[in-house]
Each structure stands twice: as C-alpha cells, then as structure tokens.
Amino acid sequence: MPEEWGHANDIFDQGYRAMRKGLLTLGVFLVALAILIFIFPEFIAFLFASFILFAGVSILLAAYRVWKMKNRIFDWQDSFGPYGEGDNMRRQRTITFILR
C-alpha cells in the first residue's frame, strides 16, 4: 500500500541523497585543497596558523564566559548579605545540623 502512494522509502532516500551529496562535497573540497597545497606549499602554514588562531580565540572566548559566570555567581551570593551574620548564620547552622 505505501508503494502506491509513492513514498515508501522516503526517509531512506532522503538520507542516502544527503550522504551522497556530503561525500561528493567533501571529496571535491579535499581535491581542491590538495591542488592548492601543490600550487602554494606555504598554504599548509597558513592553514595551520589559521587553525591555531581559531582555537586560541575560541579558548579565550570560553575563558571570558567562565570568568563572567564566576562574577555573576559571587554577585548573586553577595545579594544575600554578609556570610555569618544574623539570620544567615542560623540557617547555615540548621543546614549543617540536618546534614550531620
């Protein structure tokens, strides 16, 4: 019955087409890259340097986001008042007693 509707293996056909296009694109890209490297041998150095630059910038951005997150956490903790005074100290003692 699904064969009569014309889309019995639609999902598999679409997956196969996407895989075939991806492999063909990857092959063409690798051949073009090889040709560029043969023509311009210093192209390898540019590729490697650009990869290192991209990795360095990505790590710097991640470190900056972690640093900002740390500041937000400490700002959030400071909004509850100084640690160990008044009600905060009683809550801490209660929690410590419950955990023991």
Reported as a single tens digit per residue, the pLDDT across 44-70 is 899 899 999 999 999 999 998 888 887
Domain that includes residue 7, residue range = 1-39
- 52 and 98 part of one domain: yes
Total domains in the chain come to: 2
Q: What is the pLDDT of residue 6?
A: 59
pLDDT value of residue 70 = 75
- Both 65 and 51 in a single domain? yes
In this structure, the answer to whether residues 35 and 51 fall within a common structural domain is no
Residue 30 reports pLDDT greater than 80: yes
Q: 14 with 57, same domain?
A: no
- Same domain membership, residue 93 and residue 52: yes
Q: Are residues 49 and 69 in the same domain?
A: yes
* 32 and 22, same domain (yes or no): yes
Other beta carbons within 10 angstroms of residue 52's beta carbon come to: 10
Per DSSP, the residues of the chain read -HHHHT-TTHHHHHHHHHHHHHHHHHHHHHHHHHHHHHH-TTHHHHHHHHHHHHHHHHHHHHHHHHHHHHHHHHHHHHTT-STTSTHHHHHHHHHHHHH-
pTM here? Answer: 0.45
Co-location of 13 and 35 in the same domain: yes
